[in-house]
Chains A and B, each alone.
Chain A
Amino acid sequence: MNRRLFSAFAALALLFAGSATAVAQDKSIVVASTTSTQDSGLFDYLLPLFKTKTGIDVKVIAQGTGQALDTARRGDADVVFVHAKAQEEKFLSEGFGVKRYDVMYNDFVLIGPKSDPAGVKGTKDITAAFEAIRAKQAPFVSRGDKSGTHSAELKLWKEAGIDIDAAKGEWYRDIGQGMGAALNTAGAMNAYVLSDRGTWLSFKNRGDLEVVVEGDKRLFNQYGVMLVNPEKFSTVKADLGQSFIDYLVSEDGQKAISEYKIDGQQLFFPNAARDPS
């Protein structure tokens, strides 16, 4: 019986190795991106369109912005598509990226429990809301994972004049996880949390949570895309990667982005410039 079992395993391993090499011969690139682009469903909508047009498979590794940039720094991705401009510019200046292109923006929203213990519902001033949360010591969930959303949150505390490292206490929960996990945690704790609108709209386990603050200009969230520098890593598929970037900033790509909607709501607003920044 063992021998038969072994040969079955061997056959399976061969079959499997065969299919793996078959995939490797396909035209494909690896894009390190953020959980927000994936969890919001944008890629599920956009990538099949791109594949039909070019025949290129896009394999998305969805991580926080910081982690996605690190993946690219190790040479494990061809393109990065993230949303934290300061980190992206540092990546460029280190020589890991070729050029940065603005692609689109969406906005952040402050999510909180319907009971609104900090009393911030309805205000348009996000820093005032942050101050109120701090003052009331209302529970707040932070991504804490160096993602774009985490960077944005830290920037907002600063703009509110709060040194969060000094002010954080039991009310401030740094969970070190993705957007979805942060929303699940906030739902379970009746806490406030900063989220990108796309992930929030596609999030299913809302419980008692709702949008409490939106529309502040400072909640603007810019996405950029960069080709990983092929001079740093010869394995980077520069041509295929550039085609993806060209598509994103092309008229077709920009139109497709604007057409992606959940429940009739547009999630991302294309704003590619003619020239890269």
Chain B
Amino acid sequence: MSGSLGAWEMIVSGDATLYAIVRLSLAVSLSAVAIAVLIGLPLGAVLALTRFRARTALIVLLNGFMGLPPVVVGLTVFLLLSRSGPLGVFGILFTPLAMVIAQALLVVPIIASLSRQTIEDLWHEYRDELTAMNVGPVGRMSTLLWDSRFSLLTALLAAFGRAAAEVGTVMIVGGNIDGFTRTMTTTIALETSKGNLPLAMGLGIILIALIVAINAAAWGIRVWSEQRAG
């Protein structure tokens, strides 16, 4: 990436490297959120709807983990995935997959905690009605997930925002390899260290614009569907 070009010129001229970086950032963070949803939503739903001994402890733990330090997550994943680590045989350190895993770990607590809260609130409201209608556990869970979909979307956005904005974990487990694991945030860090502050700032503005645009789109979808579904 040529440092002499400004970030805006790169957007306008359709700089291939820049677009590859943006694409990779989105693919990594969206995949991480998708995986975290598969783990976090059922976890949140189970915590909301069941009562067991370790439940409170688990809820407190998950709430605390919403603020997991990215560097610690990165280091943990690094040690696990390193050739010398327990999962080293798979050879996925310094690949996009490693970044997806690290970001997913980072945002699972966000999705699980926020969805537990949302589902539990709705369950308090629906409990009598669903019990009166004799709806079983599976039906309850799917009804609650479906009916709280707009609030859950907010949880997903929070998770995506954190995943896309973080630099500590992807730097450690991805290695910031040019054209392979270089994301928007690691590029910003690199350009800053090269003293190329205008380009770094320009990339930062693109990143913020992307996150705002995705939030705005989700907000639009929410308003539009709420008008139809209430």
Contact = CB atoms under 8 A, between A and B. Distances in A.
B83 A39 contact: no
Interface in B53-107: 82-85, 88, 91, 93-97, 100
Interface string A163-200: 00000000000000111110110010000000000000
Given A1-B149, A1-B225, A20-B96, A183 B195 contact: yes
Given A13-B35, A20-B96, A235-B91, A2 B152 contact: yes
A30 B94 contact: yes
Interface string A94-110: 00000000000000000
A49 B190 CA distance: 23
B37 A9 contact: yes
A30 B146 CA distance: 45
B95 A2 contact: no
Contacts of B131: none
Contacts, number: 106
Contacts of B146: 2
A274 B35 CA distance: 52
B195 A75 contact: no
B97 A20 contact: yes
Interface in A17-39: 17, 19-20, 23-24, 30, 35, 38-39
Contacts of B88: 75, 235
Contacts of B28: 16
A53 interface: no
Interface residues of A, number: 44
Interface in B194-224: 194-197, 221
B3 A180 contact: no
Give the dominant DSSP class at A's interface.
helix
Interface residues of B, number: 41
A61 B83 contact: no
A178 B177 CA distance: 16
B95 A20 contact: yes
B180 A204 contact: no
Given A75-B83, A204-B196, A16 B27 contact: yes
Contacts of A19: 27
A127 interface: no
B193 A35 contact: yes
Contact of B83 (A10, A180, A183, A235): A235
B86 to A, nearest CB: 13
Interface string A38-50: 1100011000000
A6 B93 CA distance: 27
Question: Max chain A CB contacts within 10 Å: which of B3, B27, B96, B193?
Answer: B193
B124 to A, nearest CB: 21
Given A1-B221, A9-B37, A75-B84, A205 B30 contact: no
Given A13-B35, A180-B193, 19 more contacts: A10-B34, A12-B34, A17-B97, A23-B95, A23-B180, A24-B95, A30-B175, A59-B180, A61-B94, A61-B176, A74-B83, A75-B88, A180-B194, A181-B192, A184-B193, A202-B194, A204-B197, A205-B196, A235-B83
23 contacts: A1-B225, A2-B145, A2-B146, A2-B149, A5-B153, A9-B34, A13-B34, A20-B96, A23-B95, A24-B95, A39-B190, A61-B94, A61-B177, A74-B84, A74-B85, A75-B82, A76-B94, A180-B190, A184-B192, A202-B3, A203-B195, A204-B196, A206-B195
Interface of A: 1-2, 5-6, 9-10, 12-13, 15-17, 19-20, 23-24, 30, 35, 38-39, 43-44, 57, 59-62, 74-76, 177-181, 183-184, 187, 202-206, 233, 235
